[in-house]
Structure 1
Amino acid sequence: MSQGTFGALRGQLLDAAAAFADAPSALADILSGMVDDVDRALGEELEIFPVCHHSPASALAMVRRLREKQPKVVYLELCEDLRPLLDELRNCRLPVALQAFASDLDGFPPGSGPLSVVAPITEASAEYQAIAYALDTPGVELVLVDRSADHVFQWLPGERPAEPQAAPADDDTAGHEEDAALHGDAVGVEIGDLRPRFAELEAHLLHHGKVRHWSEWWDQYVEQPLAGADYDTYRQVMVLIGSLFRRLRPAEDDRSSRDEDRERYMWTRMREHLATSGADPADCLYVCGAYHAASRVEQFGLSSDVPYDISPRTGTRWLYGLIPSSQSAIEAQFGLASGSVSIAAATWSKALTRWGVTSFRLDGQKGAAKRAKRAPLPAPAPQGPVTDRLSGFLANPPALDGLDEAELLGWCVDIVRLARRNGYLASTADAIAVFETSILLAGMRNRARPTPYDFQDAAVTCIEKDVVPGRRDVRRLCEILLGGDRIGQVGYEALPPLARDVYDRLEPLGVDLEKRTIQRALLDLAANPELGPCSHLLWMLRRLLPEDAVRPIMGERRLGERSIQESWDLAIGRHQRSIIELGYEGVTVEQVLEQRLRRTVWAPKATAAVALAAVEDSILYLGSRRFTEELGARAVELLSAERTVDDAPDVLRRIRRLLAHYRATEPALPEWCEAFVTAGYAHYCTLLPTAFVDEETGVRQVAAMLGFLFSMESLALALGCDRAQLELAVQQSHPAAPAKVALLWAARFQLGLMPLAELREQCDELLANPLVIPAFPLYLSGFVQALEPAPALTPFVVELMSKAFGRLPDTVLLPWLPKLITTLRDQAPELVPVLVREAGRTFPAALPAVDTWVPPWSARPRSGPDAAPGRAPALAAGPVADLLAGNPAACDAVAALLGCDGEWRSTVQAGDGPGHGEVGALLALHPETADAVAVLFDHRTVAASR
């Protein structure tokens, strides 16, 4: 190409800069540099094909150019290590994404994994057309020249890439949001990223273009004019746009250096391939983003001999596969407007029909109608000299398409029909209003033909009212009408071995696992025991996959329990990506689960509770005694190394469950269980005094420690532990918090160091002290938590709560009750039934009996100065005396057993009460037994009357 090809255009731009710019030298440098970039790119010996990501215009130009040139080598801007995946595209339904995944990192900062790179592929993209042409045309080689997935993360700043920000989404169903997250937090690889990196420039273009977002501006000012343009015009315009955005990027843009390194990498790889393969550059085509086509790096071009050293890859082992993608996922990952990829797909389909172009498609590609056998390509057409097409394109307005009334009328009728199905009160008048408003909006935006964006705005204006009656608003309905959110699927042949194994093992269920709808699976394991392996696999998938992928409706899997009937909601087709990523971790589901459990218990932040949970999962799902013992031994190590007791409640709950399981199923406890009990006994005894006084240690944790020590005491002593260690730990504990003081008293009671009478006396003194009354609920909360280590205190706790409810003032009681309820619900739900049962045994069973009911802890023997000297305290007259007088035989038998005489009978019968004799004294000194018998007798009398 001669240097004067764009001389006239360069002169016009320089004259315009001098006439209109305040600083003509700066603007002249930019404009002249843009022309130089176009001249340089088009004059390169290796033909450069600039593209834009998921652009129908780029795809059309690619199809036309491939049929004309028929290159023998296609260089594609895509991670070079993804090349083996391209052959599997024919087994999938587009859109899908190529993925590189790594979880075991070597050479990256700790905690930066897992790492994932995805490159989405759609049919309406120039890259897919190039891939389909190269793979299905004999003698054509496809070479990926972009940096590897390993280099993607090597070149990222910081320890871990930030999660991509999704584009603002309209209100829609939960399924649509899930589809938008199909790529997860992977780093996307864009082929042909073409968007201003200068915020002011983008805002200027949107404002003067009278559009809302970048996708709409690109559709109006680039897509539509270039759809029917010839190849030279297309190339020159795309390189010019790439040069403009490149030269107007901010100086602080951190992506600039990485982009230049990518360009050096790609040109180095292409020169290496040409040197080794001996291919003729005239038979090659370099497909890259328009931004990279305007590159100014010193390695640009085949004539450059400037070397570039490519850094070696790290030791990280990368795994590769295909995952399902969707149009909304592409929009969310790359910051495109909602619905833009759907509109691009609809534009692509219409353009193929309008321009009579036959696209390239991989043989056997799923999701498309069968076609006739591909005809041989014609002889390649010689390329003529490149002429200046930019001057005419920039000087003349684009030829605008006329109004396609049939298409617009069809949209208007269909959107009204769709709106009525979704609860809108739409009618024919609304269809007419949408039609006219679309034309009006297009005219206001200088468009001769309404675009899908105009139609979408018109439909929202005319149909959507104050509220959305259904789950979809009108904007989302327009997206569905114009093509919907097409979701791809990876075929069975392209799945990793683990995913295929899952599909094969679940085949007896008789459900179509490829469907994206939720399907119900019913398993009668008693009548069909052959479905047992399916049930076992479903429980493992429940453990590994997202919560809504495999959800049990009926049935459970716990230690010592197996369901005879199960019901499942399966959405495996919707979560195909998760199953595929499981295949990156192992060959079978069991292997993946074992690796995850082992990785969990050996993690730096692993605790004994985490290890016990892993032991339980190992028993439930894997059934490997060796592996379970390995996890159990790790749990003992973690417990001995812990310096806090934050997980004590979880540890107590899990070890109790595991001990009960082994006692029911094994002749003897495993060695790791015995070691855990002895280590835990010594560990918690050592930490008990510190936990009692530590303000950061909660009451629940201390109660769990005491619960472990007392409930495991018999087993620990049998295994060689010393009880004196626990007694010393309790004696050395001196808490100040009221709740922990109550826990200490309960521990002393459990050890026999504090009798119940002394404990009751202490609590009565607290209730009688006005200074302590405001803090008494804290003591009571501690006693409630003490039911874990000392369940024998349950009657006393009921007694204490009854006294508190009866004596505490409302200012103290009422604010405390909600806190008591929430504490019991959140921290000790298992203690509530214990209290309720004990209260049911203590309080009257019928409402009328409440008025005459006397609490058993209220009756006391009469004593004091009014007692008669020289005689034992008399028993108060009442139901007890009547009971004794009416049933003397039992009392005589007790008196004879105790060696007492029966002189009291006459006095009782005389009505003086049992005041004389040894029996009367005995009853007077110990009234609790007689009171209990009297209460029991009253209860039986009430039951008999019923």
Structure 2
Amino acid sequence: MSNPFDALRAQLLGAAESLADGPAALPEILAGIVDDVDHAVREPLEIFPVCHHSPASALAMLRRLREKQPAVIYLELCEDLQPLLTELRNCRLPVALQAFASELDGFPKESAPLSVIAPITEASAEYQAIAYALDTPGVELVLVDRSTDHVFQWQPDLEGHGEATEPEDDLHGDAVGVEIGDLRPRFAELEEHLLHHGRVRHWSEWWDQYVEQPLAGADHDTYRQVMTMVGSLFRRLAPHDTRRYASDEDRERYMWTRIREHLAATGTDPADCLYVCGAFHAASRLPEVGSAPGTPDFAITPRTATTWLYGLIPSSHSAIEAQFGLAPGSVSIAAATWQKQLTRSRLKPFRLDGQQGGRLPAPLPGTGPVTDHLTGYLAGPPALDGLDEEELRGWCVDIVRLARRNGYLASTADAIAVFETSILLAGMRGRVRPTPYDFQDAAVTCIEKDSVPGRRDVRRLCEILLGGDRIGQVGYDALPPLARDVYDRLAPLELNLQQRSIQRALLDLAARPELAACSQLLWMLRYLLPDQAVRPIMGSRKLGERHIQESWDLDLGRHQRTIIELGYEGVTVEQVLEQRLRRDAWDPKATAATALKAVENSMLFLQSPRLTDELGVRAVELLAAERTVDDAPDVLRRIRRLLGHYRATRPVLPSWCERFVREGYAHYCTLLPTAFVDEETGVRQVGAMLGFLFSMESLALSLGCDRTQLEIAVRQSHPEVPAKIALLWAARNQLGDLPLAELRERVDGLLGNPLVVPAFPQYVSGFVQALDPVPRLAPFVVETLSKAFGRLPDPVLLPWLPNLITTLKQQAAELVPVLTREAGRTFPGTLAAIDSWTPPWLARRPSPATPAVRAPAAGPAGAFLAARPATTDAVAELLGCSGEWSAVAPGGAGPAVLLTAFPEPAEAVAALLGA
């Protein structure tokens, strides 16, 4: 019996022989393509080749399903996604089937989380098959592709999976995409050749012009043979030594093994079945491919112990394009083409949203003998549609109207120009009827010109005009329990939370106390979801704060995917939040600051004393194990806030807080000498260490710590950097080892030394940082800054000022109010007072050559202080006026000078005590 493709095979071989300078492999490739088509169409189990999101494939599938009415449909899709298919009834397309795993067993831990998605659109052959099978009694749908677990078992670069990032508006995130019908050249030179000679810009346009449009109205046999031929061509020209090609072959072995297992288990006649797969796989000639008994099976490896979670997430045309490298707008154009072809052919598609596909006609007889449909398709030019002036004119009018709404100065003349340019471009590219791509190019040329007045360019406006970026939505019944619980608990807000727009929620907690539960849930979602999903406008959540009114901007409709993926981690938001806090605190890279942050969040959101204490104990362990002080500022800020809250709300501190203070005191005392000399440790970190030691000193000493340890640590510190030297001087002053008078003398000596003056700003920066550990030095710091501004030369002062401002803003913003308040107390408040103003650090130091003229503090005050000299001695020593009590006279020494120069305080104290 002669083969129906013999004539085509001979014709192609003759053409190959006539190309004397062609490659030697050309005859083999051309003949092999015909053999692949012949082999595929003779398979007893009908193979239906498709291209992903192709309207032509969807139309051919729709016709074939109504004609053949198969009893079993084998679909190229991950077999473990099968239970999700029935949930498509509750969704608005496009959506994506998703498998998700955050806790891995058998895969590298650093690659978590793993995610696989399979997007579904109405203009796709796979959706038509799914809708037909689910809504037709007696029809079985079987997914036969490798499982999600095997997807990652066969992925060689799994370790880098978790590091991939996608744009924020990509609904698929960094998930691995699984598509049916990956039909694109894997030979870069071939794709470049096709685009160049086809006079198109990208692959989507080439496919639409040379395959999609010619096959839109083709009969079943022609469609099937042409798609198999294209798949065979790309398969034979693809590099065979790549991992991807080997993985594709294993997928084909896997799928046919599953098909044969199902046929053997059910006894189904292969003639009543339909196998839907990508055209690339339809042309396979592997020994394991086929439904004939005795075909060798593929050894399928077992799955790992990883627990996979499954669900549906929203998808969109732009997300599908980004996931699979399609041209922007191509999926929207495909959807518009699908609707137009349905109207033209008067076909009713299968749908799962409650609209049945219509009563099926009686099954037709099986297909006849195989005949050659390729020769006629390849020999003649494609039947091009004529110019549809009404359609093109409508596009031109609508794009001008849309452009004017978006700020373009478009007019009727631009609409005429777009119309004529579209026809011109189509003619230059060998087309009778302008395609949407021709129309896009013409609109950009005639309307956009050289500027974009708004945030949308003309190409984006064309995509909106031709269908827009359709975004799907998962229905309430198809959501995981956590997502449904979120919507139920936020129901008192009386907002449509599934609406894809920002909605304002106003919470008057005083008038409606029942909304407090909604407020608590919103704050938890604020912590778990992206910033734009739940955003507070009025109100905050801090320790010890309670607000009576809050307002929120809610955009949960556009962030439905993230809420769904929270459902993969737990049943309630509280459970997920607890797991996140534990994960952060026990992460291998966690620090004491990280654990303290988790402690604070547990107090804010969960009110679980058990969890808070557990996280606090973890913070103590991490602090004791740290060998650096990089996070010292964050640790100090957080432990101060926590201690302040506990002191205000509880009679005693938790045991973990006491342990943290003891461990921190000993820890920072031990590391202080090293931090002072370490070049990699900044001044901010050393200042935070001193802040912890001095501010927690009284509590630490009451808990059994030894102050001698701090004194020894300070004496052992020998910094060389000027800023750290200033910090050390401040610390010695706090410990009483360096009186203020001596500190002032040292600073004056620095200003008087020409060799040190260029480095003086660094000393000032160190004193500013010292305001945290030694806040009583604020007057001295203002004095030092004033001296620096007054005495430093401009070449030193002017370059330093921007650096000082930047440092204060980035590292010590909380110190700026301290300086500002002290400066306000020090400097005059009016402009007129400046002329007569004398700096207090000069007014308080009487010159030895000019004794003070005040009268001695006689009377009751003098007698009172003379009888009790201890307090006056201490104050005098602190101010650098220590000495012996000789006489309470103007020429006296030590405390006598103090009493003589400042009699008012002594009189006031004496009067207060009745002396």
User: Normalised by the shorter chain, which TM-score bucket?
Assistant: over 0.9
**1:230 aligned residue (215, 219, 229):** 219
Q: Find the partner of 1:758 among 742, 753, 764.
A: 742
1:481: how far off? Answer: 0.8
- Whether the aligned pair in 2 keeps the contact of 1:861 and 1:924 (CA below 8 Å) is no
Q: Distance in 1 between matches of 2:900 and 2:330?
A: 87
CA distance in 2: counterparts of 1:776 and 1:666, whole angstroms: 46
Shift in alpha-carbon separation, 1:75–1:487, aligned structure 2, 3 A: same
Give the corresponding residue for 2:202: 213
Secondary structure at the counterpart of residue 653 of structure 1: helix
Does structure 2 retain, via aligned residues, the 8 Å contact 1:164–1:333? no
Distance 1:561 1:601 in 2: 25
Residues 874, 920 of structure 1: 8 Å contact kept: no
- Take 1:562 and 1:396, find their aligned partners in 2: how far apart are those partners? 78
State how far apart, in whole Å, the 1-side matches of 2:692 and 2:862 are: 45
- Cα distance change on mapping 1:686 and 1:896 into 2, 3 Å: closer
Which residue, out of 523, 542, 562, partners 1:558? 542
Question: Which whole-Å deviations, capped at 9, do the CAs of 1:701-743 have from their partners, x for residues lacking one?
Answer: 1111111011111111111111111111111111111111111
- Which residue pairs with 1:910 in the alignment? none
- CA distance in structure 2 between the partners assigned to 1:240 and 1:342 by the alignment: 27
| Equivalent residue runs for 1:674-693 within 5 Å | 674-693=658-677
Contact persistence 1:80–1:145 (CA under 8 A): yes
CA positional deviation for 1:690 = 0.9
Give the conservation status (yes or no) of the 8 Å contact 2:890–2:897. no
The verdict on how the C-alpha distance between 1:19 and 1:874 changes in structure 2, with shifts beyond 3 A counting, is closer
- Between the aligned partners of 2:902 and 2:17, the Cα distance in structure 1 is 111
Q: Distance in 1 between matches of 2:808 and 2:136?
A: 72
Looking at structure 1, the residues matched to 721 and 213 of structure 2 have their Cα atoms a distance apart, in angstroms, of: 76
CA distance in 1, matches of 2:163, 2:622: 37
Contact 1:895-1:919 at 8 Å conserved across structures: no
Q: CA deviation at 1:890?
A: 6.1
**1:839 maps onto 2:838 in alignment:** no
Q: Find 1:324's aligned residue among 297, 310, 314.
A: 314
Q: Is the 8 A contact 2:317 2:470 kept in 1?
A: yes
Equivalence for 2:697: 713
Instruction: Give aligned pairs, total.
Output: 887
Instruction: Provide closer, same or farther for how the CA distance between residues 161 and 753 of structure 1 changes in structure 2, counting only shifts above 3 A.
Output: closer
The code of the aligned residue for 1:81 comes to: D
Do residues 132 (structure 1) and 116 (structure 2) align? no
Alpha-carbon shift at residue 44 of structure 1 (Å): 1.0
**How far apart, CA to CA, are the structure 1 residues paired with 2:894 and 2:674?**
46
8 Å Cα contact 2:336-2:466 kept in structure 1: yes
Aligned to 1:284, which of 257, 263, 273? 273
Greater shift, 78-87 or 21-30, is seen at 21-30
Distance in 2 (alpha carbons) for counterparts of 1:61 and 1:266: 22
The corresponding residue for 2:651 is: 667
Work out the CA distance in 2 between the residues paired with 1:166 and 1:636.
Answer: 34
Shift of 1:925: 8.5
Structure 1 residues 794 and 165, CA gap change in structure 2 (3 angstroms): closer
Partner SS, residue 857 of structure 1 = helix
| Letter paired with 1:249 | A
Alpha-carbon distance in 1 for matches of 2:704, 2:329: 71
Q: CA deviation at 1:601?
A: 0.4
2: distance between equivalents of 1:775 and 1:49? 80
State the SS of the aligned residue for 1:922. Answer: coil
From 256, 261, 264, the equivalent of 1:275 is 264
Q: CA deviation at 1:417?
A: 1.3
Note if contact 1:166-1:335 (Cα within 8 Å) is conserved in structure 2: no
Query: What is aligned with 1:625?
Result: 609
Question: 2:385, 2:14 → 1: CA distance?
Answer: 32
Please identify, of 586-595 and 741-750, the stretch whose mean Cα deviation from structure 2 is larger.
741-750
Question: Which of 325, 344, 348 is equivalent to 1:358?
Answer: 348
Q: In the alignment, which of 376, 379, 386 is matched to residue 395 of structure 1?
A: 379
Q: Specify the code of the residue in structure 2 equivalent to 1:490.
A: V
CA distance in 1 between counterparts of 2:176 and 2:582 reads: 28
- Asked if 1:261 corresponds to 2:237, the answer is no
Instruction: Give the CA deviation at 1:495.
Output: 0.2
Aligned 8 A contact 1:874 1:924 in 2: no
2:327 maps to 1:337: yes
The residue number in structure 2 matching 1:875 is 851
Select which of 745, 756, 759 maps to 1:775. 759
Residue pair 2:691, 2:772 contacting (<8 A) in 1 also: yes
Residue matched to 1:869: none
Q: What is the DSSP-based 3-state SS (H/G/I as helix, E as strand, rest coil) of the residue aligned with 2:191? A: helix
Q: Please say if residues 21 and 27 of structure 1, whose CA atoms lie closer than 8 Å, have aligned partners that are also in contact.
A: no
CA distance in 1, matches of 2:201, 2:172: 26
Change (3 A) 1:924 1:539: closer
After superposition, residues 844-923 of structure 1 pair within 5 angstroms as 844-859=828-843, 860-863=845-848, 874-875=850-851, 881=853, 884=854, 894-895=861-862, 919-922=889-892
Contact map agreement 2:856 2:903 (CA 8 A) in 1: no
Q: Is the 8 A contact 2:856 2:888 kept in 1?
A: no
1:188 maps onto 2:158 in alignment = no
- Deviation, 1:397, is 0.5
Structure 2 distance, partners of 1:189, 1:273, is 23
Cα distance between partner residues in 2 of 1:216 and 1:163:
33
| In 2, Cα distance between equivalents of 1:3 and 1:84 | 46
Relative to structure 1, the CA distance from residue 836 to residue 476 in structure 2 (aligned partners, 3 Å threshold; closer, same or farther) is same
- CA 1:779–1:24: 2 relative to 1, 3 Å: closer
Look up the SS of the partner of 1:513 in the other structure. Answer: coil
- Cα contact 1:856–1:931 (8 A) shared by 2: no
Q: Secondary structure at the match of 1:450?
A: coil
Gaps of 5+ in 2: 868-885, 908-915
1:560-579 C-alpha deviation (Å, 9 max, x unpaired)? 00111000000000100000
Question: TM-score when scaled to structure 1?
Answer: 0.91
Q: Tell me by how many angstroms 1:158 deviates.
A: 2.2
- The 5 A counterparts of 1:47-62 are 47-62=46-61
Taking structure 1 as reference, are residues 932 and 454 closer, same or farther at Cα in structure 2, changes over 3 Å only? farther
1:32 corresponding residue in structure 2: 31
Secondary structure at the counterpart of residue 25 of structure 1: coil
**How far off its partner does 1:104 sit?**
0.3
Q: Which residue does the alignment assign to 1:160?
A: 159
Offset at 1:923?
A: 8.0
Counterpart for residue 502 of structure 1: 486
Percentage identity across aligned positions? 74
Shift of 1:776: 1.2
1:91 is the counterpart of 2:90: yes
The alignment partner of 2:291 has SS state of coil
| Contact 1:861/1:926, CA 8 A, preserved across alignment | no
**Counterparts of 1:332 and 1:917, CA distance in 2:** 90
Q: For the Cα contact (< 8 Å) 2:538–2:549, is it kept in 1?
A: yes
Q: How does 1:409-420 map to 2 (within 5 A)?
A: 409-420=393-404
CA contact (8 A) 2:289 2:295 kept: no
| Aligned equivalents of 2:448, 2:800: Cα separation in 1 | 51
Q: Secondary structure in 2 aligned to 1:228? A: coil
CA 1:757–1:807 in 2, change beyond 3 Å: closer, same or farther?
Answer: same
Q: Is the 8 A contact 1:54 1:344 kept in 2?
A: yes
State the AA in 2 paired with 1:42.
Answer: V
State the alpha-carbon separation in 2 of the partners of residues 213 and 280 from structure 1.
43
Corresponding residue of 2:449: 465
Q: Specify the SS of the correspondent of 1:111.
A: helix
- Does residue 1:607 correspond to 2:596, yes or no? no
Judge conservation of contact 2:91–2:353 (CA < 8 Å) in 1. no
Shift of the alpha carbon at 1:414?
Answer: 1.2
Local SS of the residue matching 1:323: strand
Q: Per-residue deviation at 1:69?
A: 1.1
Structure 1, 810-819 or 837-846: larger mean CA deviation:
837-846
Q: Deviation of residue 3 (structure 1)?
A: 6.0
Residue 392 of structure 2 is aligned to residue 381 of structure 1: no
| One-letter identity of the residue aligned with 1:415 | I
Give the counterpart letter for 1:62 in structure 2.
M
RMSD of aligned Cα (Å): 2.1
User: CA contact under 8 A between 1:798 and 1:839: conserved in structure 2?
Assistant: yes
Is 1:300 paired with 2:293?
Answer: no
The TM-score with structure 2 as length reference comes to: 0.94
Tell me the CA shift for residue 111 of structure 1.
0.4
Amino acid of the residue matched to residue 242 of structure 2? Answer: D
Q: What is the DSSP-based 3-state SS (H/G/I as helix, E as strand, rest coil) of the residue aligned with 2:158?
A: coil
Deviations 1:856-896 (A, max 9, x none): 22244444xxxxxxxxx6526xxxx4xx4xxx696555555
User: How far has the Cα of 1:558 moved from its partner?
Assistant: 0.3
